[in-house]
Amino acid sequence: MEVLRLAEVIGKTGLARSTIYKYADPGRFPRPISLGGKSVGNPSAKNGGITPYPCNFT
């Protein structure tokens, strides 16, 4: 399973950090997963997760 860190997600989607977390709450964006300690990551597109410029954002 490939996991992307927040900086990589921002680079691929063009979304701001706050927007990513805002979209994750209602389920329109993959929720971050715990990597241990205070580290989190997001599933990559290979796993049905982050894709460049995701759609269905309203």
* Domain boundaries, given as residue ranges, for the chain: 3-47
* pLDDT value, residue 26: 77
Does the pLDDT of residue 7 top 50, yes or no?
yes
* pLDDT value, residue 15: 86
To the nearest 10°, the Cα dihedral for 36, 4, 33, 7?
Answer: 80
Mean pLDDT of 23-27: 80
* pLDDT value, residue 57: 47
Place of tokens 């921002």: 10
pLDDT band (50, 70, 90) for residue 10: confident
* pLDDT value, residue 18: 92
More confident residue, 8 or 45: 8
CA 58 to chain centre: 17
